[in-house]
Amino acid sequence: MGYDCIVCVKQVPDTANITGEAMKEDGTVNRAALPAIFNPEDLNALEAALEIRDRYGGTVTAVCMGPPAASEVLRACLYRGADRVILLTDRRAAASDTLATSYILSRAIRTLGRFDFVFCGRQAIDGDTAQVGPQLAEKLGIPQVTYFESLVDLSGRSARLRRNVGNGWEVLETPLPVLVTVLESANTPRPAGARRVMRYKRARSPAEVIAAVKAEMPEASEETCEREVGRRVEHLRMAGLLIDQWDLDDIQADLAWCGLAGSPTKVYRVQSIVLKKEGYTEIPPTEEGVRRLIHELIVDHTLG
């Protein structure tokens, strides 16, 4: 029997380690200067799916929506044990908000067909919204269990999952299929397996092949390029190293629900955070200085 698990993963800029170079002169964020990483909690989601497969049998399929460069996180999924990976890439999906994103992911999952679990990280570090998981569950018409911490029991068509709600925890019993959003505290993601790295490091998506051919043969005609891309893609397919790539047509997405058109939220304005440069009163680190500060706070009624 076994369980078929789908994991949604995202490539994100590393917002936790923003340095000076990542901010442009005008104070906006320079995405290009930030390293792109595997969204941390999506690694926990992948691990949760792999643990179920390792214990009960079944499959793990990773789906990633993003630009061609996001193929990198799909290779990382292969290194850790995913059975199948799919890159969902389409310019028409750009500027999708969480609602449009969850719609597109729901179309991809329906295209895959049968599944028992969908795992997502609780949230992505570039937006921190934690909205795509619940919205995807609604689009799929299945229950959701957010803030997953551990699997208590799994038998037949029902699972007991423990979730952490901040000021406590609870165990929910849910029928399958179910969508689960996973916390960082749920598990320790396994490292990439050395043999799988050797095997899959040359795995490529068609979009990556096109980019590579264009870079290597800048002078070649379109026809020559196309032929070369076709040759390489076929070669990868034969070797089992072709990363499946779908666009919005492949998943029969309604374009009115995708991208800017499918996104009810619009950005009105973006401001970078500029430190208030009003200056502060410097207090010398001496008994006398500190005593005067405390006195001042008492006088203005901050203390006492």
The nearer residue to other proteins, 165 or 198, going by C-beta atoms, is: 165
Number of CB atoms found within 10 A of residue 276's CB: 7
Q: For Cα atoms 84, 86, 88, give the angle at the middle one, nearest 5 degrees.
A: 170
DSSP 150: E
The nearer residue to other proteins, 40 or 81, going by C-beta atoms, is: 40
The nearer residue to other proteins, 122 or 232, going by C-beta atoms, is: 122
Residue 76 CB, nearest distance to other proteins (Å)? 21
Residue 278 CB, nearest distance to other proteins (Å)? 9
Residue 27 CB, nearest distance to other proteins (Å)? 9
Residue at token pair 């040359």: 202
CA dihedral 226→231→235→240, nearest 10 degrees, is: 30
The nearer residue to other proteins, 16 or 238, going by C-beta atoms, is: 16
The nearer residue to other proteins, 32 or 194, going by C-beta atoms, is: 32
Cβ pair 248, 93 in contact under 8 A: yes
Residue 250 CB, nearest distance to other proteins (Å)? 23
- Name the token pair of 113: 């067909």
Distance CA(289)–CA(287), nearest Å, equals 6
Residue 155 CB, nearest distance to other proteins (Å)? 14
Helical pair 40-56 and 71-80, crossing angle rounded to 10 deg:
40
- Name the token pair of 97: 């908000």
Residue 182 CB, nearest distance to other proteins (Å)? 14
Task: Give first-to-last CA distance, the chain, whole Å.
Answer: 68
Residue 172 CB, nearest distance to other proteins (Å)? 6
The nearer residue to other proteins, 215 or 275, going by C-beta atoms, is: 275
The nearer residue to other proteins, 239 or 303, going by C-beta atoms, is: 303
Using CA atoms, how far residue 47 sits from 7, 41, 52, 268, in Å, is 9, 10, 9, 38
DSSP 23: B
Number of CB atoms found within 10 A of residue 166's CB: 6
